[in-house]
Structure 1
């Protein structure tokens, strides 16, 4: 059975970068009829907040990315310490005591000598007495996994065949001096014990994957299928790392972005497939293929979400927006007509507010210089009695005959005078609704 997971740290809200990882793993599991695990990486008791756990669940539910079960790493600490014990017994785990400053000096020295800035394993030369002295002086050290200095290889689902020389990588720290178990160890233990078969994550994890493969093998497990998606950049290729905090899913939701728009974009962004609106999960799943994604940095422009949102909203039936329109105060007997008139001229549902205000309260007329007399004369020709969708054509025909104006010079001044805007719904629809609402005013 295919088993995937999404393992966010509850130290903030989910942003578009997190979503890309979550969605790809969800799609792989659902397409194979497998299991999707939501695994909360909350081993950091200081930074992990329950409000963020609740928030990420709400965001996933808003998108329709439902999970099969939830796991919390804070409830599995005994499993990680048991694994650490096994690594010690195998002589693959050792305590190191260098301070951050000392490590930085070592890295700079190696770089100056033209060598890769890899931890020099000086801690392996310490005898028991020296370790006791350092513990007394500095407190407990960090625990590093001792890599076998050989090539680590795997067939990556996106990047192709990967080969990394373990000698060019520092022995990873798996447990901090304060006893906190780090992601690298916790993730390996969880993936192994939970039977995770496929893992998609960002390309910034490639080196981390190499070290994890060795840890998995040391603990007697089998490496899952790995795929590393490209990292997102801004529309001009700029780094998104500093902006991701403003691209959280809840911020996008507040801007009126619809789930279908976000999923449609993120499920194909960076792939060889076209980005087009997909309004249901089956369609989203149908064409998804992880091998269709490229390795080059992928440009993300939040503005691309708005046309997709508009396309989605404009295809909705009245019943699906009834509550939103009722909240505006649109009379029940006019609500269907109001939606029919405005639906083609909104990008988000928030745009309905301005249209209702215009119909209800009237707009400040926009009358260009030289059009005042024309507008005044046109208003005297407005048909009396109830107006219908044919009234605009008959009125403008009469105005054209009376004034000689044609085309844009005829229609645009009238639109601006009635709605205060140069663009909007078809005036043939606007005119009768405007009359009815103003009459009730």
Structure 2
């Protein structure tokens, strides 16, 4: 998105890593919310900003690249975040909803490291939690962001932009923090990187415009300073800010800064590839080239409902593409005359799933496919008199759920959307 610089107003706040400005909402941002413009700075430091405070040229741009890719992906999945868009006119700036931040940090851990070990000396470094552990830390640099319990946080009775941070809100925050971690962990696993832990923050959207209720959103930044990331799960190969924290005061010189910048840039490049919604650009992943799903309907020689079946198949294809970003869906009518062509096509494709619609299996096509090519098959029959089934909005949820569960095995975006639904809606069985 190209941001008109004349829309950027006064400075609201400035921290060690970013500046936040008012931004006039001229109606082009797709939201009625109050907006801010965030500029990421080139500062880098260690230990609550107390050690090795340096300027690393390009860091603001790298942070913006990394965080924009992560938040763009989470927005597409359906998570409510403050992020709106990166500014193409400024390499270190992005637009976000104006939030009042809840003064806590959530640290989600898969592997015991860092402050957890100091607080739990009986736990060995590298201990792996079966379920990610979520910690609440109050933001207090002077006291090194101490750990708080849920009860203590409830007792503070914070009210943020009209939202009471009560036990229900805290429970939602904890669930969201864990969900964000699990989604990012899943994507990084596709290239054998272990997301060791992650820090996230939440805010409440300013609801001064209109009559909307206060909204809890994931906010701030997610980048190479807010996680630990180990290729092949090997601490010795770490590619996160910990490599900078390892240097003692006075050890950092220009050569170290150049090295850290290179590592950060490499992680940013990977992040943009992994979390891009343009699957063609995901060269490092085994995503779904060519056909991903083939939907088969019987031709006119087999059923009088051929056109209805084909219409349903087309609507299903559009829905799966629009809702789950599934590309490469082929809809094809099938009859005896083209059976061998279909088998030849399947044997040369990367198809993940076959869906047959309209009792096509009366001709044993499903069993023929199963014996010819190792591809899952879903047979779907329905009463063609129910014309409502031809409306994309009224597609059979059971059919859609079956399809997306199978596709989620190899597609992290679909898996992420399912995980979000499971977290709050419970409309899908847990996998």
> What TM-score do you get using the length of structure 1 for normalisation?
0.24
Whichever structure has more strand as a proportion of its residues is: 2
Larger radius of gyration: 1
With normalisation by structure 2, the TM-score equals 0.24
Greater helix content? 1
